[in-house]
Structure 1
Amino acid sequence: MKFRRKARENVDIGLAPLIDVVFILLLFFVVTTTFTRETQLQVDLPEAASGTPPQDAVNKQLEVVIDVDGSFTLNGKTLIKHDLSTLMAALSKESGGDTSLPMIISADGKTPHQAVITAMDAAGKLGFAQLRITTVEAQPEP
């Protein structure tokens, strides 16, 4: 006995619905993704009870950020070495020889004291006259 086989139907995958699903998945991942700034350092500034608030922003200024481990970042660019000569070279390059620019040192509260002194020494040797150290205003005790 020979049974007759049914003719197979061709299975087609609809391309338009597939593109719609992929597009919706792409939108879902774009909307739910959070972007973090990995290049920014986490610096906990020390507290001070007295001080003056910052004045209006100057067009160009030099900001040296010192991390907990003593690494330097100048205007958002991390320096490779943590020594005086590298910091002086970066400061002179960034300032273009203009020592009248204000220089701001933002050091973490747990930064080694030597790293802060190195930054201040580099500023002094290059002739920067406007030097500021950032702090956080201390909260009054209840």
Structure 2
Amino acid sequence: MNFRKRNQPEEPEINLIPFIDVLLVILIFLMLTTTYSRLTELKINLPTANAKSADSRPRELLVLVTADGRYVVNQRLLEGRSVDVLAAALSRSAGADKTIVVISADAAATHQSVINVMDAARRVGLTQLTFATQGQADSAP
């Protein structure tokens, strides 16, 4: 009989059973918590009505700024170029609270003249401003 100890170490093994158990638990968790969208399966026909459409468009106040810094409020040329004159004209022309000031400035107009319109609108209490632009013409090659 040979009772000597072996000098060779045992080779390590990777036990895959706990790994498989964890993966199965994660798979079950994902299957239970996944939500499925059924919006693509629904076909909806919206109802129709013959009612008159309501005019929900707010009142617009058109302010034109010329290249040399003059102002036109609702097709009336203003005599002065100061913010006070512009604020007075906006106050006279503004009606309801939902009045939108449409600023249509010339491309060569100075920034200061556009800022004056914005400042005058703020002084009067008109907080809704928008700028009118025109699209660029498509150039043929």
TM range (shorter): 0.5 to 0.7
Radius of gyration: which is bigger? 2
Letter in 2 for 1:100: K
Q: Give the equivalent residue in structure 2 for 1:37.
A: none
Alignment of 1:115-134 (within 5 A): 115-134=113-132
2:97 corresponds to 1:83: no
Q: Which runs of 5+ in 2 are unaligned?
A: 1-54
Work out whether 1:64 is the aligned partner of 2:63. Answer: yes
- 2:102 pairs, out of 96, 101, 104, with 104
The superposition leaves residues 78-99 of structure 1 with CA deviations (integer Å, 9 ceiling, x where unpaired) of 0000110000001111114x34
Distance in structure 1 (CA, Å) of the matches to 2:68 and 2:103: 15
Which secondary structure does the structure 2 equivalent of 1:137 belong to?
coil
1:12 matched to which residue of 2?
none
Once the two structures are superposed, residues 9-65 of structure 1 have per-residue CA deviations (whole angstroms, 9 ceiling, x without a partner) of: xxxxxxxxxxxxxxxxxxxxxxxxxxxxxxxxxxxxxxxxxxxxxxx9946321000
Please, what is the CA RMSD of the aligned residues?
Answer: 2.2
Does residue 92 of structure 1 match 2:86?
Answer: no
Higher relative contact order (CA 8 A, sep 6+): 1
What fraction of aligned residue pairs are identical, expressed as a percent?
Answer: 35
Kept in 1, the 8 Å contact 2:59–2:98? The answer is no
Distance (Å, rounded) in 2 between the aligned partners of 1:137 and 1:57: 26
Secondary structure of 2:121's partner?
helix
Aligned counterparts, 1:47-62, within 5 A: 58=57, 60-62=59-61
